Amino acid sequence: MTGWEISPFEPDGLRVAPLRPPVLPEPPRHGEDPSDCDSCRSKEEGIWFNDRWRLTRIERVGVPLVLMLHPLEHFDLADLPDDMAAELGVLSTHIARHVQALPHIARAHVYRIGDGGAHLHVWFFARPEGQAQLYGSWMVIWDDLLPEYPADVAEADAAIVADALVASYGGRRSVADD
């Protein structure tokens, strides 16, 4: 993979770490118990809300904008009721459209990993226009390697996305942003 044009690493001298033996049972993810869940404790934080979802901006990132969508109630992807699963698809599409409508953004990468936290969280990474090296699965790695993107620009972009989401999907902006 280091030979891929989009790799952030030079292939010379890079080694694959040995695969460790399995650990069974697996250790619990953070927040398996809703009373110990950071997302459940942070229900009031975000840039956009509706009755079932909230959208937050992740700060101190290397790409122009990183947003995270969380259900307000403690669900993981496999636990999501069918009506919320359908809403997740439509809502994710609206968020991606609004991120991609920003003038300096080419694509919105959407990720759901799910190994670190038990509360569903879907990531939206904005790939800057013209940065072909940030294509695909390496985008998350590049985000960690790049210098911090200007917070004021990211905050303004997040506000544009939140306003567009209110207009296209409903919900409300954060009270703190009014």
Alpha carbons 34 and 38: distance in angstroms, whole number: 8
Residue 53 maps to a domain: yes
In this prediction, residue 176 carries a pLDDT of: 66
Furthest-apart CA atoms within the chain: distance in Å: 51
* 87 located within any domain: yes
Helices 151-169, 82-100: inter-axial angle, 10-degree rounding: 130
For the chain, give me the number of helices (H) and strands (E)? 4, 6
Report yes or no on 34 lying in a domain: no
What stretch of H or E contains 69? strand 66-71
CATH number at residue 161: 3.30.428.10
Q: pLDDT tens digits, the chain, 178 residues: what are they?
A: 777 788 888 878 778 889 999 999 999 999 999 999 999 999 999 999 999 999 999 999 999 999 999 999 999 999 999 999 999 999 999 999 999 999 999 999 999 998 989 999 999 999 999 998 998 888 999 999 999 999 999 999 999 999 999 999 999 998 665 5
Count of structural domains, the chain: 1
**Is 2 among the domain residues?**
no
Residue 3 resides in a domain: no
Instruction: Specify if 130 maps to a domain.
Output: yes
Supply the range of the domain harboring residue 85: 46-177
